[in-house]
Every structure is written in structure tokens, then in C-alpha cells.
Amino acid sequence: MDNKNEDRPHAKRSGWLKNDNPPGDLAKVRRCHAKTRLGGSCKAPAMKNGRCRMHGGKSTGPRTPEGIEKIRASHFKHGEYTKRAREERRQIRALIKSLGDTISEIDESAGLSVSIKQ
């Protein structure tokens, strides 16, 4: 190992790190400042998005059409509340109501008292 500071071992070092990461002073980096459970602010170094590795923030959701479709498919359970199913139920209710009305009209015209209405 080549140590350039052999004569001054405690002198401030400069240059690239041994692991090839860029040099920098951790005391000067931007901080996360997320609110902590103790009420203070997080002091971990911030990433590009302004938060640290532990407070990266919530997902902003799928962006691509494929991603949106994947999320939509994962939320689909049984189709009970799809537009098509609700419209079908609405039509069935309307049909039952019109049948009840028709039976009532027949009863009145024939003088009968039979009815399907509760």
C-alpha cells in the first residue's frame, strides 16, 4: 500500500477513497430532515430526492400503461362492482318492478287480489 502521508499520519487526507467512491466531507452533506418519532429531524445524509435511504418517501405509483394495467388487474377481485355488473343489476331491478306493476294492473282490471309485492 502506498501511503502518501507517511510522514504526517494525522494530516487531513484528500483524493479518491480506497473503494473508488468520490471523496467528500460527510459533515457538509445535505441532511434528510424527515420528522422522527421523537419530534426531531433525521440527520442521515440525503439522497438526490432530499431524503435519506430510510425516508425515501412514498411511491408515486405506476407511470407506464403496463404498470397501471398491472395494478388494476391486481385490485380486481370478483367483478361484483364493475360498471357492467352494476348496470346488469339495475336492469334486473327495473324488470322486476315493471313486472310487479304489470301484475298489479292485471289484478285491478280482473278484480283479483293476487300480488307478488310484499
- Nearest-approach distance from CB 30 to Zn ion, in angstroms: 11
- Nearest-approach distance from CB 55 to Zn ion, in angstroms: 3
- Nearest-approach distance from CB 28 to Zn ion, in angstroms: 17
Distance of CA 51 to the CA centre of its chain: 19
CA nearest to 82, candidates 72, 97, 95: 72
Q: What is the DSSP string of 44-67?
A: SBP-TTSS-SS---------SHHH
Q: Compare residues 57 and 67 and give the one whose CB is closer to Zn ion.
A: 57
Q: Compare residues 1 and 38 and give the one whose CB is closer to Zn ion.
A: 38
Q: Compare residues 31 and 107 and give the one whose CB is closer to Zn ion.
A: 31
32 by Cβ neighbours in 10 Å (0-12 / 13-18 / 19+) ranks as buried
- Nearest-approach distance from CB 27 to Zn ion, in angstroms: 17
Q: Compare residues 58 and 84 and give the one whose CB is closer to Zn ion.
A: 58
- Sites of contact with Zn ion (CB under 5 A): 32, 34, 42, 44, 52, 55
CA nearest to 56, candidates 42, 68, 70: 42
